[in-house]
Structure 1
Amino acid sequence: MQDLFETELWQGKTVADLLTLEFLASAAGSVIAAIAILLLGWVISSWLQHRVENLGKRHKHLDEMLFEFLASIVRYVVLGFTVLFVLNTFGVKTTSVVAVIGAAGLAIGLALQGTLSNVAAGAVMLILFRPIKIGDFVVIAGEMGTIKQINLNYTVLADLSNVQVIVPNSEVWGNVITNYSVNPTRRAEWTFGVGYGANLKTAEDIIRSTIMSDERAHTDPEPFIQVNNLNDSSVDFLVRVWCSADDYFAFKADMTRKVKEALDEGGVDIPFPTRTIVQAAE
């Protein structure tokens, strides 16, 4: 630490020397130069950050999230060199500064292991390996929502009620990630029950025509519509039809209602649990 303060600016100076106009002018010049370097470094770092970010935005085949991460690294590297230049302006030996920063960094790293694990998960695992990206609809650590932001420390989701959910990156990488946005198609599945007295061929035809007449239903792969289970009070049809991932929720909800209405119109009985209460004779 002693070398840190043995600078050309004040080394060997007495109090009288420090009060001379020559020394004050020299100190003022160093301060002005330092401010100028700081401003220049700030402007250059911001300009480079935006240039790198815009590079990812201009080209659709490049990952925007990765370039945002690289832009942050570029910015902090430039600011770090700017600080070293400022210290050099005052005559501070930068080698001593680097040694002090290294020792402080080790102590801070030991104290902030949890935070650093989030940074490692965000910087290395999530950003470089890219299992998820902004705009994906996912389930992470039990939270379902759309990814709005991924940074070094945490991932931000908007849940189904548009409420912000913040998940630490160590929790994101350390848990199972269910990503509904990766594949372009999904398979919707329903179970429709009809009464034992119903004509199964008629019921199957109604279910098939109702669902497959919807433009969102895919014919390839072929739909699966078969009797799957014989319950106590119903014969269950298992129905599996493929659709676009973006249409999944609306398609499934719409078909649930339309098939029920179609079965009613076709005179197909849809059973429901009934209970008979018999009063014991006195």
Structure 2
Amino acid sequence: METQKWIDKGYDIIVEFAPKILAAILIWIIGNWVIKMVMKGVKKAMTKANYEDSLKKFLLNLLNWIFKIVLILVVLGTVGVETTSFAAILAAAGLAIGMALQGSLGNFAGGVLIMIFKPFKIGDLIEAQGEIGAVKEIEIFTTKLTGLSNKEIIIPNGALSNGNIINYTTEGTRRVDLVFGVSYDADIKQTKEVLMNVLTSNPKVLKEPAPAVTVLELADSSVNFAVRPWSKAEDYWSVYFEVTENTKEALDAAGIEIPYPHSVEIQKEG
């Protein structure tokens, strides 16, 4: 008699829960298939939009986990498990993690923005956060630059995305801004010819845009000339140093004096 009672009870449980379990299994199978199709479409869209590999991998994993968690909650709800408490726990955990990782989340958001809007790419020469360097690596939380003296510079993406960024590579060419002072006794026309010859004889100085030499100012002890050659972005420093050196040699050869500070010592007899 007791056995029959337990058999009847088990039968009732099966009758009550079997449809829910079958429905849950069906939802799980269909849900996984839908997630797979959605992830495939998202991956294709990201590839078409030329997302960075690191960003694409991170976002795909994040979306996959979100979809899986939602699917698990739906399946648990289908079999009669109360999911409100689970959702509350997840929300509380997310809030706690967000509070603990505020700085990191800001850097993550900055990394996402950089990878989506692409203000620079690997190899570009940029100036940001008081640093100048070639972009070596763009990661989720930081961007690494190689400085002019071959030092590694690591900048948090949060600060990088919220600050000013100067990209010297985007346009492909750069103007080199130089200033040279000569004596007031020097002939302006001759000086301009000498300086222009220095620019036109340098193969790294571009013909277009054309280089320029103009009188910049009449200073206290010199006439200052603005010398403005253009170069390819990668030749900037070569042009800067070569023009500076060649200018000194050319002015000396032409007998044009480059003034330098003089000090006068006055002694008072006691």
Regarding TM over 0.5, the answer is: yes
Q: 2:109 aligns with which of 99, 113, 120?
A: 120
Unaligned runs of 5+ in 1: 1-47
- 1:153 is aligned to 141
Contact 1:156 1:164 in 2 (8 A): yes
Is residue 239 of structure 1 aligned with residue 221 of structure 2? no
Tell me whether 1:71 sits opposite 2:57 in the alignment. yes
| Matched position secondary structure for 1:166 | strand
- After superposition, residues 160-239 of structure 1 pair within 5 angstroms as 160-239=148-227
Distance in 2 between residues matched to 1:172 and 1:84, nearest whole Å: 34
Instruction: State the one-letter code of the partner of 1:221.
Output: P
Following the alignment from structure 1 to structure 2, what is the Cα–Cα distance between the partners of residues 64 and 217? Answer: 36
What corresponds to 1:250 in structure 2?
A: 238
| 8 Å contact kept, 1:84–1:94 | no
Q: CA deviation at 1:157?
A: 2.1
Secondary structure at 2:237 match in 1: helix
Aligned to 1:162, the other structure's residue is in SS state coil
1:248 deviation in Å? 0.8
Distance in 2, Cα, partners of 1:253 & 1:121: 36
% identity of equivalent residues: 35
Contact conserved, 1:223 with 1:240, CA < 8 A, in 2? yes
- Is 1:278 paired with 2:231? no
Change (3 A) 1:264 1:64: farther
1:224–1:265: structure 2 CA closer, same or farther, 3 Å change rule? Answer: same
Q: Is the 8 A contact 1:139 1:145 kept in 2?
A: yes
Task: Spell out the pairing of 1:74-93 with structure 2 (5 A cutoff).
Answer: 74-78=60-64
Q: What is the aligned partner in structure 1 of residue 95 from structure 2?
A: 106
Residue 186 of structure 2: SS of its match in structure 1?
Answer: coil
1:138 maps to amino acid:
I
Output the CA distance in 1 between the equivalents of 2:242 and 2:82. 68
In structure 2, relative to structure 1, the CA distance for the partners of 1:94 and 1:268 (3 Å cut) is farther
Q: What secondary structure sits across from 1:69 in the alignment?
A: helix
C-alpha separation in 1, matches of 2:265 and 2:107 = 61
SS of the residue aligned with 2:166? strand
Check whether the contact 1:229–1:237 (CA below 8 A) recurs between aligned residues: yes
Any residues of structure 2 matched to 1:137-148 within 5 Å, and which?
137-148=125-136
Q: CA deviation at 1:244?
A: 1.0
Whole-Å separation in 2 of the counterparts to 1:222 and 1:139: 25
Give, as a single letter, the amino acid of the residue that structure 1 aligns with 2:110: A
SS in 1 for 2:169: coil
Shift of 1:99: 5.5
Partner residue of 2:3?
Answer: none
1:244-264 deviation digits (Å, cap 9, x = unpaired): 111111101110010110110
> What amino acid sits opposite 1:130 in the alignment?
K
CA-to-aligned-CA distance 1:15-55 (integer Å, 9 cap, x gap): xxxxxxxxxxxxxxxxxxxxxxxxxxxxxxxxx9xxx7xx9
Question: Alpha carbons of 1:83 and 1:228: their partners in 2 closer, same or farther (altered >3 Å)?
Answer: closer
Give the 3-state SS of the residue equivalent to 2:258 in structure 1: coil
- TM-score, normalised by the number of residues in structure 1: 0.68
Q: Distance in 1 between matches of 2:96 and 2:263?
A: 71
Which stretch shifts more, 127-136 or 159-168?
159-168
1:171 is matched by which residue type in structure 2?
A
Query: Contact 1:225–1:237 at 8 Å: present in 2 too?
Result: yes
* Equivalent residues in 2 for 1:2-41, closer than 5 Å: none
